[in-house]
């Protein structure tokens, strides 16, 4: 039976390819997203993608998929560092969530090294650019 996974992109991820290319790369969001979805399909997963810049919409989506998804890949962007509401949403759905980041957040500004969502995630992958998502899907495939 195929597993259902959702990849959730948080604030500003939709501008990947345009914003701070030295950090986030030059490849655009749509291209990266296609590659993520194609890779998930090769793993035998049903995968959907969702992006919002709004904290409450991310929380609503996490709650909405709690009975239909087997795993979540989440790039929460800046919400990673201070959204206790997002942390509580992840904890409340009780399905594995993998936190991802394009950049190595530990090699950047000090505030980026603290994740309030990490304690309720199955794991964290950071620093591999778009491949952080691919690695997260591999991880989920092994634990779901």
Active site residues: 24, 101
Distance CA 56, CA 67 (A): 19
Output the six-digit token pair for 138: 């591999």
CB 60 within 8 A of CB 49: no
Distance CA 4, CA 88 (A): 22
Q: Which residue has the tokens 């201070």?
A: 82
In degrees, to the nearest 5, what angle opens at C-alpha 90 toward C-alphas 88 and 95? 140
User: Helix 131-143 to helix 29-42 angle, to the nearest 10 degrees?
Assistant: 30
Nearest to 8 by CA among 33, 44, 45: 33
């Amino acid at each position: 039976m195929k597993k259902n996974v959702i990849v959730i992109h948080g604030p500003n991820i939709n501008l990947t390819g345009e914003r701070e290319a030295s950090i986030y790369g030059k490849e655009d969001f749509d291209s990266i997203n296609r590659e993520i979805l194609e890779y998930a399909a090769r793993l035998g997963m049903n995968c959907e993608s969702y992006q919002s810049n709004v904290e409450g919409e991310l929380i609503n989506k996490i709650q909405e998929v709690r009975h239909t998804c087997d795993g979540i890949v989440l790039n929460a962007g800046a919400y990673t560092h201070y959204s206790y509401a997002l942390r509580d949403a992840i904890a409340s759905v009780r399905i594995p969530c993998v936190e991802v980041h394009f950049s190595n957040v530990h090699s950047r500004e000090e505030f980026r090294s603290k994740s309030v969502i990490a304690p309720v995630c199955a794991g964290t992958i950071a620093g591999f650019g778009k491949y952080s998502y691919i690695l997260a899907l591999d991880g989920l495939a092994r634990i779901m």
